[in-house]
């Protein structure tokens, strides 16, 4: 199997290469400009992939509020360009999206059929990308994930560990709920999907939710990070539970972005582990030792 991954340095792309080994080839900016349609088509045609995974994205949620054009260029236009290239080649695309396509007003976890309503530019650009990808390739599988962490790159887990190295107490928002999800678990699930015969059937195409089992607030997430880190002899701090209003950010966040993943389990037989178990594996990674 030949798996083409758009993106090379992000968390999921890095984990896909680590987990997938020689079956995965990553294409970062140095190899392929997603905003150059000819270059994208040439890269796909040259590699002759069985499956394409789009793990490239503009993910600076706050910066996107004042950088709208760049966010939409990569998350919507670039995603559509890649989807068109895969359609022309006749292969399916697995496209990563986000929980931030929802406004957070629902009191229960969101299903794939719930109305969207992103609060900020980042979520708006990702929703536009979902729609463009689905329109461009009849075998587009859109995977919404959330609160991604890993041993790599910039993410909440690494930020908390870095802060704990110099602070005894850290204020963390306690009134936003979501599903912390390991990029390594995401990568393993994507590779399982890539091997599935169901990708050949457009009847199975569409939107799926892909997050870890279990839910948490950011404060809950931080508390568990420090509990497990301390048990391993790593940095830890006390968590002060604060409100969103006490920690204003340029981009609004949904108060609830929990995702229901029953559809993925029903169609592909996939359920990610509980986020606490995946965190244990992450913190035991040699990078943190």
Task: Tell me 284's DSSP state.
Answer: T
Cα–Cα distance for residue pair 82/230, rounded to 1 Å: 43
Which one is catalytic: 58, 100, 110, 122?
A: 122
111-130 in b/e burial notation, b at 16+ Cβ within 10 A? ebeeebebbbbbbbbbbbbb
**DSSP H or E segment with residue 230:** helix 218-231
The DSSP line for 35-55 is T-HHHHHHHHHHH--SEEEE-
256-287 in b/e burial notation, b at 16+ Cβ within 10 A? bbbbbbebbeebbebebbebbebbbebbeeee
Mark whether 122 is an active-site residue. Answer: yes
Tokens of 243: 């409100």
The DSSP line for 177-219 is EE--EEHHHHHHHHHHHHT-GGGG-GGG-EEEE---BS-EEHH
Nearest to 142 by CA among 88, 195, 82, 210: 210
Cα–Cα distance for residue pair 48/285, rounded to 1 Å: 33
Cα–Cα distance for residue pair 49/4, rounded to 1 Å: 6
**Active site members:** 122
């Amino acid at each position: 199997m030949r798996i083409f991954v758009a993106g090379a340095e992000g968390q999921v792309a890095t984990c896909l290469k680590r987990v997938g080994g020689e079956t995965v080839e990553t294409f970062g900016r140095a190899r392929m400009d997603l905003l150059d349609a000819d270059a994208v088509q040439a890269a796909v045609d040259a590699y002759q992939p069985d499956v394409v995974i789009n793990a490239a994205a503009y993910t600076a949620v706050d910066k996107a509020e004042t950088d709208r054009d760049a966010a939409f260029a990569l998350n919507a236009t670039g995603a559509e360009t890649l989807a068109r290239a895969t359609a022309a080649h006749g292969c399916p695309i697995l496209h990563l999206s986000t929980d931030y396509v929802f406004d957070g007003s629902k009191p229960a976890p969101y299903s794939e059929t719930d109305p969207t309503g992103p609060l900020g530019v980042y979520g708006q650009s990702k929703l536009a990308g979902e729609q463009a990808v689905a329109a461009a390739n009849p075998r587009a599988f859109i995977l919404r994930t959330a609160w991604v962490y890993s041993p790599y790159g910039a993410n909440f887990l690494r930020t908390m560990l870095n802060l704990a190295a110099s602070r005894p107490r850290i204020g963390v928002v306690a009134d936003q709920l979501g599903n912390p999800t390991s990029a390594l678990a995401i990568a393993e699930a994507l590779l399982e999907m890539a091997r599935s015969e169901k990708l050949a059937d457009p009847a199975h195409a569409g939107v799926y939710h892909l997050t870890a089992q279990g839910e948490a607030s950011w404060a809950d997430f931080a508390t568990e990070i420090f509990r497990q880190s301390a048990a391993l002899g790593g940095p830890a701090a006390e968590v002060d539970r604060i409100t969103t209003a006490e920690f204003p950010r340029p981009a609004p966040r949904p108060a609830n972005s929990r995702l229901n993943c029953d559809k993925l389990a029903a169609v592909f037989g996939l359920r990610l582990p509980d986020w606490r178990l995946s965190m244990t594996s992450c913190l035991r990674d040699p990078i943190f030792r």
